[in-house]
């Protein structure tokens, strides 16, 4: 394996290896190409069968220790492709008893310039389908269940971290369920773009040195194996531009930002128990010590781990913005790193979504009375009488409330009877559209 032995001297040696899913995708491509080339009579069937068998070993993880070249290599991914070609050729030779050549046979009708861009797209689509979409469905389901459970639990609303009009805990949770639902739909739509594969473009997109039917035949084989619905790309676009994958990365970043906001709100509601808000309990977070020096302390450890993941995903997406700009004319120069980053993002955010769902959202317990006391203590309740007396007078009453006058006392000064005040301060009426009283 001459190339694989020499390349580490010139590439980086950071120990950063390609994810299992990308190695699997490379094996899938080599198997599909060998089968098509044999059907077209372009390579010997016995050699093709041996390549197929060796490629399946690669797909199944039996050769991972031989895919050794660093992610930080030549920008086209030639290092990965040649590493794979040589590993498959060596094993196929032993299977067939023939001399299987890494370029003349395993790489027949291909180039690193079309195989690796194809592989990272296949890997991204498969990883998203297997991990990200189910984890999004899980958190959407968890949030919707809790939103329904707590739809009537009233709490203080807060804007600018200051008291605002009441909301329900269910309303707050429904906001995140809706956000993740939109994230899910966006991912599904973008995947259709990512499914367009440039295989068959060979060196520059023209398809020179490969059969005219090669692209469609190989993609048909890929779909037989995966049922993921891949389709031919404009090869010139998909080899020089990675913006479809950047769109996917950006959508994963959006999920990370929504998760970050949810996690921050949960941390604040869980703060306390005596000097913070203490609006919710998270029993699962009590399973491990929160401090090495303060016995009995409980911290939102799963939530904070999710915050770290969110930050990492945002950073990887930012790197992908630079990666997408690398290259000139017919080829991108950011292919290996884009593939690595996308798969890493999917794995990180999927893990966080799953853990937040099962260990935080599902186990969340509302401190109902604490929330109600906060809601009824908020000076912002003066807003409910603003439509009656006007903004300016309501502002004056608000100032009196801040000095210690209760809202009930302020309303009495305006001539309201106690039964009328009770009706105005019915908090259930304050968490839905409409006027609280008639003028």
- Catalytic residue numbers, as ranges: 160, 291
Rounded CA separation 6/279 (Å): 61
CB 140 within 8 A of CB 184: yes
Structure tokens that stand for 408 in this block: 């009930």
Rounded CA separation 379/164 (Å): 8
**DSSP 8-state assignment for residue 154:** E
User: Which positions ≥6 away from 57 have C-beta within 8 Å?
Assistant: 27, 63, 91
170 closest CA partner among 183, 194, 189, 154: 154
212 closest CA partner among 52, 76, 43, 36: 36
Surface-to-core class of residue 110, CB atoms within 10 Å of its CB (0-12 exposed, 13-18 middle, 19+ buried): buried
Helices then strands, counting H and E runs in the chain, come out as: 17, 8
Cα 121 from chain centroid (whole Å) = 16
350 closest CA partner among 69, 134, 144: 134
DSSP state letters, 94-153: HHHSS---IIIIITTT--HHHHHHHHHHHHHHHHIIIIIHHHHHHHHHHHHHHHHHTTT-
Specify whether the backbone of 426 is left (phi greater than 0), alpha (psi in -120 to 50) or beta: beta
CB 265 within 8 A of CB 158: no
The SS3 call for residue 236 is helix
Rounded CA separation 305/317 (Å): 19
Strands (E), 218-364: 231-232, 280-281, 327-328, 331-332
Structure tokens that stand for 162 in this block: 């200051």
Specify whether the backbone of 434 is left (phi greater than 0), alpha (psi in -120 to 50) or beta: left
Match 């009824």 to its residue by tokens: 376
């Amino acid at each position: 394996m001459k190339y694989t032995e020499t390349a580490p001297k010139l590439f980086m040696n950071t120990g950063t290896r390609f994810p299992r899913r990308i190695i699997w995708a490379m094996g899938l491509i080599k198997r599909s190409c060998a089968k098509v080339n044999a059907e077209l009579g372009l390579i010997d069937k016995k050699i093709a069968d041996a390549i197929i068998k060796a490629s399946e070993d690669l797909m199944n993880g039996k050769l991972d220790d031989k895919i050794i070249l660093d992610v930080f290599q030549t920008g086209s991914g030639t290092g990965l492709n040649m590493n794979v070609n040589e590993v498959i050729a060596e094993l196929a030779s032993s299977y067939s008893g023939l001399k299987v050549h890494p370029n003349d046979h395993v790489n027949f009708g291909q180039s690193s310039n079309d195989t690796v861009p194809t592989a990272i797209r296949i890997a991204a689509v498969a990883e998203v389908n297997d991990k990200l979409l189910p984890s999004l469905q899980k958190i959407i389901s968890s949030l919707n269940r809790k939103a329904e459970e707590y739809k009537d639990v009233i709490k203080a609303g807060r804007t600018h971290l200051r008291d605002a009009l009441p909301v329900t805990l269910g309303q707050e949770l429904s906001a995140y369920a809706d956000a993740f639902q939109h994230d899910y739909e966006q991912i599904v739509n973008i995947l259709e773009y990512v499914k367009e594969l440039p295989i068959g473009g060979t060196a520059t997109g023209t398809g020179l040195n490969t059969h005219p039917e090669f692209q469609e035949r190989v993609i048909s084989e890929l779909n037989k194996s995966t049922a993921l619905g891949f389709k031919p790309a404009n090869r010139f676009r998909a080899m020089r531009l990675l913006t479809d994958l950047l769109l996917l990365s950006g959508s994963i970043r959006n999920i990370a930002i929504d998760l970050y906001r949810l996690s921050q709100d949960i941390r604040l509601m869980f703060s306390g128990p005596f000097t913070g808000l203490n609006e919710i309990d998270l029993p699962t977070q009590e399973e491990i010590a929160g401090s090495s020096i303060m016995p009995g302390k409980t911290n939102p450890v799963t939530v904070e781990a999710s915050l770290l993941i969110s930050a990492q995903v945002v950073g990887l997406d930012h790197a992908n913005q630079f990666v997408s700009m690398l290259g000139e004319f017919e080829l991108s120069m950011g292919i290996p790193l884009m593939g690595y980053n996308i798969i890493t993002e999917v794995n990180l955010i999927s893990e966080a979504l799953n853990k937040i769902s099962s260990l935080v959202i599902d186990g969340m317990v509302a401190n109902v009375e604490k929330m109600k006391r906060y809601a009824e203590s908020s000076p912002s309740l003066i807003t409910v009488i603003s439509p009656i007396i006007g903004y300016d007078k309501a502002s004056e009453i608000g100032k009196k409330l801040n000095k210690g006058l209760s809202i009930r006392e302020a309303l009495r000064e305006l001539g309201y009877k106690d039964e009328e005040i009770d009706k105005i301060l019915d908090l259930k009426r304050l968490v839905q559209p409409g006027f609280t009283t008639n003028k």
